[in-house]
Structure formats: structure tokens, C-alpha cells
Amino acid sequence: MVFIFMNIMDLLWVQGTCINAVISFQKHFQAQESDVILATYPKSGTTWLKALTFTIMNRSRFELQNSPLHTTTLHQLVPFLEFDLYLNHQSPNLECFSAPRIFATHVPHALLPGSILNSSCRIVYVCRNPLDQFISEWLFIARTQDKEPSDLAEAFERACNGIQFFGPIWEHALCYWKASIEQPDKIFFLKYEDLKEDIASCINRLADFLGCPLSEEEVTQGVVEEISKLCSFDYIKNLEVTKTGRAYANGVKNSHYLRKGEVGDWKNYLTPSMSERLEKIIEEKLAGSVTKSL
């Protein structure tokens, strides 16, 4: 775990393995006006958001039944800036990505390069209930290491102290949430739970934000339902490329990114006192802001 001091007041966290990549990303990335950046805290719905955004934005280029999503991993279609692109290259060649480009990042808002913050490229952020996020990450780490999960109480203690790969989840979400309130045309703030509850409405709102709204004709033809199905947990989990492929740069099995995809799975792992403790921390840290969201 590594942290960067931005100034005397702010302490911003990034995963230790990608600190140099984040610095290169900050220094060298040149945003284009048409870029879309998918920003998330890990295990909050990145893979789902990649599928939805790619499908919505490319639906006039590829018929849905011929979407590259059927044969190509989402990590290749929408690479992570700090893992896939800048991890091993200070200034990777991004010419192979045709506009509009879609990239993903877990980097906190304050660490995004100026060219993203100061251009008119768009950012979509997804947040998730921190209890579900914690369990998802705890189990993901074990799966990637092919081991039993680590001690739950210890991992939970670290999460309550904000010690996770990208720092406290509440700070990460709060900064993006504030920015989305200040710049609603630039940052679109979504919740994993809302995607689960009403995917059709989220697809419509996301398409509007991305500047490619669904036409009345598309709505009548059932395109929203088709996008929803193509990007659904069950559909993506059962694709051959998910079962056999590996994530772009870290080599982790694709299948590890699709575990259960449910809201409230934390109830199967956390005791009532644990959940109350983390809920109280979240309530205190996010009072009056994203609290209702989480």
C-alpha cells in the first residue's frame, strides 16, 4: 500500500503496484473531447459499467448480436489506464483506440490528470454499498490467489480504517459525488444498487449523458431490454470468453470478476455488530451527501 501527499491536508491513496503507472498516467495522458472515463472504486460494478457503456456507445457500429463483447474480454474493450495501459509503459501508444475512446480507472478524483479534468471529456462513476464492496473484494483477493479468504475480522478492521487498495471508499465516492454535483454535464454518478433495481432507467439516463440517447424507434424495438440482457451478469458470466479468458494485463481469470452480482450478500458474512459499525462510519463520513445512496 502506497500513498501520495498532494498537499498538507490531503492524503490520497493508490494501490502500491501501480503508483508509477498513476504518475505516468497523470503526466502523459492526453484526453480527447470525446473520451469517456469510467471511474470506480474496485468491486463496485466496473465490469458491468464497461459492458453497458461499450454497448450503448457502439450500438450504431455493431449490431448487438455481433457485438465484440461476445468474443473479446471487457478488459480489452475498455482497458484500465493505471493497470493495462500505463503499468509497463510511461507513454503507451493509444492510437489503436478509435474515438470515442472508453477507458477505466480506480484513481481518486483528485489524482486524475489535468487533461481529463480540464477537457470536456465525460466521466461516469459507479459506487456500491461499502459492505457489499468489502465482501466482494475480500473474496476476490482469495480467488485470485487460489487460497481460502484471509481472516475476516482483520480484513474488516482494515476496511473500517480506510485501508483498502484505493484508500477509504467513502472519500473516493464523496469526491466524485461532489464533482458530479458541481459539473453534472461532466460527471454522471450511478449506484450499483440502482442498476440492479431499474436497469432500463439507468441505460436510458446513461445513454442521454453519453450523448447517444435511445430513439423512440429503438425503445419501441426493445433495444433497452436487449442491451440490458447482453450486459447482464448471467449472460456475461456464461460467455466462453469469460469462462476461458484472462484480464488484459494482470492475467487474472475473467471469471473471477463475476461472482454473484447481488445486493446484500454481505449479510451472509458480516455479524450484526460488524455491519452496524461500518454503516455508522459510512453514515458519519457521508452525512448529507451520498449517504442515501449507499
- Please give the positions annotated as active site: 106
By CB under 6 A, the residues from 232 to 291 that bind ligand PAP are 232-233, 236, 257-261, 265
Say whether residue 55 binds ligand PAP (CB under 6 A). no
In the bound complex, what is the minimum distance in angstroms from residue 43's beta carbon to ligand PAP? Answer: 4
What is the C-alpha separation between 95 and 74, in angstroms, rounded? 19
Which long-range contacts link 264-270 to residues 24+ away (Cβ below 8 Å)?
A: 264/129, 264/132, 265/132, 265/135, 265/136, 266/129, 266/131, 266/132, 266/134, 266/135, 268/135, 269/135, 269/138, 269/152, 270/131, 270/135, 270/152, 270/156
Which residue from 13, 18, 35, 45 is in contact with ligand PAP, where contact means CB under 6 A?
A: 45
b/e per residue 233-244 (b: at least 16 CB within 10 A): beebbebebbee
Say whether residue 149 binds ligand PAP (CB under 6 A). no
b/e per residue 28-64 (b: at least 16 CB within 10 A): bbebeeebbbbbbbbbbbbbbbbbbbbbbbbbeeeee
- Which of residues 43 and 59 has its CB atom nearest to ligand PAP in the complex? 43
What is the C-alpha separation between 77 and 69, in angstroms, rounded? 8
In the bound complex, what is the minimum distance in angstroms from residue 136's beta carbon to ligand PAP? Answer: 3
Say whether residue 194 binds ligand PAP (CB under 6 A). no
Which residue from 24, 26, 40, 164 is in contact with ligand PAP, where contact means CB under 6 A?
A: 40
Backbone angles phi, psi at 25, to 5 degrees: -60, -45
Residue window 109-138: x/- pattern of binding to ligand PAP, with contact defined by CB under 6 A: -----------------------x---x--
Say whether residue 165 binds ligand PAP (CB under 6 A). no
- Which of residues 135 and 215 has its CB atom nearest to ligand PAP in the complex? 135
The window from 55-63, 108-116, 229-237, 282-290 that contacts ligand PAP (CB under 6 A) reads 229-237
- Which of residues 73 and 180 has its CB atom nearest to ligand PAP in the complex? 73
- Which of residues 80 and 95 has its CB atom nearest to ligand PAP in the complex? 80
Three-class DSSP labels, 2-13: EEEECCCCCEEE
What residues make contact with ligand PAP under the rule CB under 6 A?
A: 40, 42-48, 51, 132, 136, 231-233, 236, 257-261, 265
